[in-house]
């Protein structure tokens, strides 16, 4: 028997409870250091002393008041806000030993905001928080960031902030922290403790200096008259000067004369209202100088749902000889319409992508199909590696000979995450409903493991509608279940329950046995989640009994050894809540025996964890300690650090239990 009391000589922390569902032990590891991913400061930097001085003064005032420094740089697009911030960061990085984090909050030209939850997730990852430890909701992640920055010296640089709500989520608490935002205007509703710093256009003197320094870096120069044309056209915007100079570098005398005549004739009068029009004038000139093949490739690539892409996809989109496609990509890079990184991945500048779309017009349905189909095939290939759950998509019914590691599969899916979400919406816009739901089904593994809940819900709402449009009831059943899993992950239990009830009804309607079993099992999991929200013992037991009822219903339609093993695992958890330790042990033993010879490390670890809880409840302390140690080792092998810590905490807790 276990006596639930503390006695004898005890030191350290003692936790007493009738039942512990989850135990998290957090240890402060002291100072940490993360990589600085802030964009590189401009190589030529002029006339921003006043901005840097204001930043320094504001930080001194904040520290004197024992508060974090909150600032916002604002000014029209292309004026050099990010450059000014990056230059200041470069000079002051050493003052932030706990990390410098750069997050881009929006794509202004496409009027697309990064979701607050995903942006917070990016910041937390850069500060060393693992995927397993990321909390689910936006509010929880904001609280997690505040807690992480307390008593630390962290710099948060938030680029292209569009509204006050975005910035509010990132407010740090540490007095040594600095939040430096940047955007095109000072957001309305910004709290008074945010200090606004306007980044003005360059004075004429400094604009001429920038022209000269940029050209001198490449051993080139212009006459005073030519510099005046550039400065007059740029209207004090550094990005406009940089773009014009980039076209002059490497140009022949004839090309340079033609370019400067075009600038003098067309001007940049629209810049004060909309810098996109200003930059489009430059992009138009670059586009007009492309050969026919490169211009056609530019228009085709405009259809891509994101701003970055691989060479292989470009070849697939453009078609023809891969060497010709490679030549076109090089020409587009030479024209500064694309850039290529060290990994050979191509990128559109924000404005260049919008410009390319304006040249391309509506996306042809056949091109949209090629893009989505390419992403679907690769996503299915990599998703297969993540689990052997049942799927409905036709590509899953074809055997794959591709060998890829789990790590590589997840890395590709994560790298393409934005493009994949965009591909779902592209399929929807092109009327390709069948591809839309299939791609959603293939994304479940990535979303489930990495917790991209906002992307998950956005795409699967599209996928659900797409399945209905196809009249594919089985696909609709899958979408309801996968959408329910997302809501469950966010703790939106009522929404999750509605999805799984819908899924169950659809499964019954078409006689889909596995769908019935799965949806009933998930309804039981929802009831187990409700246990965590209850302090009243009887209410907790009521939810556990309802969970058992759902598992019994699932058992009645189950017809697969793995399904029975998983249901035994879930039944064990419910019985532990009911303090029926012997019955819980009787369920978990055969479940563990089933998973033992398999490669499912995660389920073996879960069985070990629940076995330890059952054994501890029965007073078999040594056996429980061994079970927890086994679970701890298996979770570590599977990379589940948060689960490993739970097993470790329960094992250590037994050291204080008196028999």
Q: What is the pLDDT of residues 334-356, one digit of tens each?
A: 777 888 888 899 998 656 787 89
Tell me the mean pLDDT in the region 524-528. 96
Least confident residue range of 34-43, 562-571, 636-645: 34-43
Question: 């307390």: which residue's tokens?
Answer: 150
**pLDDT for position 14:** 54
pLDDT top residue among 439 and 230: 439
Cα distance between residue 328 and residue 310, in whole Å: 14
Q: Give the three-class secondary structure for 485.
A: helix
Instruction: State the Cα angle at 167 between 161 and 169, rounded to 5°.
Output: 135
State mean pLDDT over 189-208: 88
Separation between Cα atoms, residue 530 and residue 551, nearest integer Å:
15
- How is residue 658 annotated by DSSP? B
Mean pLDDT on 571-597: 96
Helix (H) or strand (E) holding 608: helix 601-617
3-class secondary structure, 220 = coil
pLDDT for the residue 281: 59
Q: Is the pLDDT of residue 611 over 90?
A: yes
- Residues 210-234, mean pLDDT to the nearest whole number: 87
The contacts of residue 89 (CB under 8 Å, 6+ apart) are 36, 38, 41, 100, 155, 157, 180
Rounded CA separation 163/1 (Å): 59
Which one-letter DSSP state was computed for residue 303? T
**The predicted structure's pLDDT at residue 254:** 86
What percentage of the chain has pLDDT greater than the value 90? Answer: 57
Task: Report residue 611 as tokens.
Answer: 């076995």
Lowest mean pLDDT among 59-73, 130-144, 474-488, 634-648: 634-648
Comparing 33 with 211, the larger pLDDT belongs to 211
| Rounded distance between C-alpha atoms, residue 653 and residue 12, angstroms | 11
pLDDT category at 30 given cuts 50, 70, 90 is very low
Given pLDDT bands bounded at 50, 70 and 90, which one contains residue 580?
A: very high
Q: 586-598, pLDDT tens digit by residue?
A: 999 999 999 999 8
Judged by DSSP in three states, 105 sits in coil
Q: Where are the alpha helices (DSSP H) in 350-432?
A: 350-360, 365-386, 406-415, 417-429
Angle between helices 224-234 and 253-266 (to 10 degrees): 40
Would you say residue 162 has pLDDT above 90? no
Note the pLDDT of residue 69: 96
Lowest-confidence segment of 72-81, 457-466, 502-511 by average pLDDT: 72-81
Q: How many CB atoms lie within 10 A of CB 188?
A: 7
pLDDT category, 274, cuts 50, 70, 90? very low
SS3 at position 187: coil
Closest CA to 354 of 183, 108, 82, 162: 108
Alpha helices of 151-291 — where are they, by DSSP H?
A: 164-168, 204-216, 224-234, 238-248, 253-266, 275-288
Residues 403-431: tens digit of each pLDDT: 888 889 989 999 999 999 999 999 999 99
Of 571, 585, 572, 637, the C-alpha closest to 615 is 585
For the chain, the first-to-last Cα distance in angstroms comes to: 6
Averaged pLDDT, 265-285? 52
Confidence grade of residue 380 (pLDDT, cut at 50, 70, 90) = very high
- Give the model's pLDDT for residue 41: 65
Nearest residue to 573 (alpha-carbon basis) of 563, 561, 587: 587
Considering just the CA atoms, what is the radius of gyration of the chain in Å?
29
Quickly state the pLDDT bin for 273 (edges 50, 70, 90).
very low
Identify the weakest region by mean pLDDT among 60-69, 228-237, 525-534, 562-571: 228-237
235-259: average pLDDT: 80
Of 157-161, 259-263, 625-629, minimum mean pLDDT range:
259-263
Confidence class for position 2, pLDDT limits 50, 70, 90: very low
Query: Is 283 within 8 Å of 359 (Cβ atoms)?
Result: no
């Amino acid at each position: 028997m276990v006596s639930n009391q503390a006695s004898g000589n005890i030191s350290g922390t003692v936790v007493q409870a009738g039942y512990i569902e989850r135990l998290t032990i957090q240890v402060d590891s002291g100072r940490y250091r993360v990589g600085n991913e802030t964009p590189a400061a401009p190589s030529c930097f002029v006339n921003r002393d006043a901005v840097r001085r204001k930043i320094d003064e504001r930080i001194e005032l904040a520290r004197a008041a024992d508060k974090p420094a909150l600032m916002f740089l604002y000014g029209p697009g292309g004026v050099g806000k990010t450059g000014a911030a990056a230059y200041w960061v470069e000079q002051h990085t050493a003052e932030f030993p706990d990390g410098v984090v750069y997050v881009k909050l929006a794509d202004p030209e496409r009027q697309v905001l990064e979701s607050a939850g995903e942006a917070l997730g990016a910041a937390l990852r850069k500060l060393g928080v693992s995927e397993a430890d990321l909390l689910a909701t936006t509010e929880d992640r904001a609280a997690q960031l505040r807690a992480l920055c307390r008593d630390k010296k962290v710099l948060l640089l938030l680029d292209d902030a569009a509204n006050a709500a975005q910035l509010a989520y990132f407010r740090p608490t540490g007095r040594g922290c600095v939040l430096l935002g940047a955007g095109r205007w000072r957001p309305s509703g910004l709290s008074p403790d945010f200090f606004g710093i306007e980044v003005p256009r360059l004075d004429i003197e400094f604009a001429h200096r920038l022209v000269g320094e940029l050209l001198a870096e490449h051993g080139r120069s212009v006459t005073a008259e030519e510099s005046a044309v550039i400065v007059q056209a740029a209207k004090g915007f550094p990005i406009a000067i940089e773009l014009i100079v980039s076209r002059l570098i490497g140009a022949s005398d004839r090309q340079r004369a033609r370019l400067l005549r075009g600038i003098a004739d067309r001007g940049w009068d629209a810049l004060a209202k909309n810098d996109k029009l200003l930059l489009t004038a430059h992009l138009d000139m670059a586009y007009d100088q492309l050969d026919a093949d490169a211009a056609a490739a530019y228009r085709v690539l405009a259809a891509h749902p994101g701003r970055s892409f691989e060479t292989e996809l470009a070849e697939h989109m453009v078609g023809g000889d891969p060497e010709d496609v490679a030549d076109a990509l090089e020409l587009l890079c030479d024209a500064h319409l694309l850039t290529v990184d060290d990994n050979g991945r191509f990128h559109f500048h924000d404005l260049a992508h919008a410009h390319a779309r304006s040249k391309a017009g509506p996306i042809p349905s056949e091109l949209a199909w090629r893009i989505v189909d390419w992403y679907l095939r690769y996503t299915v290939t990599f998703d297969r590696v993540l689990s052997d759950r049942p799927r409905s998509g036709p590509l899953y019914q074809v055997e794959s000979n591709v060998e890829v590691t789990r790590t590589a599969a997840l890395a590709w899916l994560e790298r393409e995450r934005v493009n994949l979400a965009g591909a779902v919406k592209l399929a929807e816009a092109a009327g390709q409903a069948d591809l839309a739901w299939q791609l959603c089904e293939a994304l479940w593994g990535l979303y489930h493991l990495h917790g991209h809940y906002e992307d998950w819900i956005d795409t699967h709402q599209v996928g659900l509608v797409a399945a209905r449009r196809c009249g594919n009831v089985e696909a609709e059943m899958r979408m309801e279940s996968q959408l329910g899993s997302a809501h469950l992950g966010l703790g939106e239990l009522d929404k999750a329950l509605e999805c799984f009830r819908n899924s169950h009804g659809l499964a019954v309607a078409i006689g889909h046995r596995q769908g019935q079993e799965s949806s009933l099992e998930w309804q039981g999991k929802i009831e187990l989640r409700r246990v965590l929200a209850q302090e009243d013992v009887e209410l907790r037991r009521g939810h556990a009994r309802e969970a058992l009822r759902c598992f019994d219903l699932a058992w009645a339609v189950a017809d697969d050894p793995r399904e029975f093993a998983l249901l035994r695992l879930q039944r064990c958890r419910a019985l532990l809540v009911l303090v029926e330790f012997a019955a819980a042990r009787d369920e978990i033993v055969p479940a563990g025996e089933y998973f033992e010879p398999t490669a499912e490390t995660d389920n073996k670890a879960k069985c070990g964890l629940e076995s330890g809880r059952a054994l501890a409840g029965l007073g078999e302390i040594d056996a429980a300690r061994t079970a927890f140690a086994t679970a701890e080792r298996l979770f570590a092998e599977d990379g589940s650090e948060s689960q490993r810590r739970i097993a470790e905490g329960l094992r250590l807790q037994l050291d204080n239990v008196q028999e």
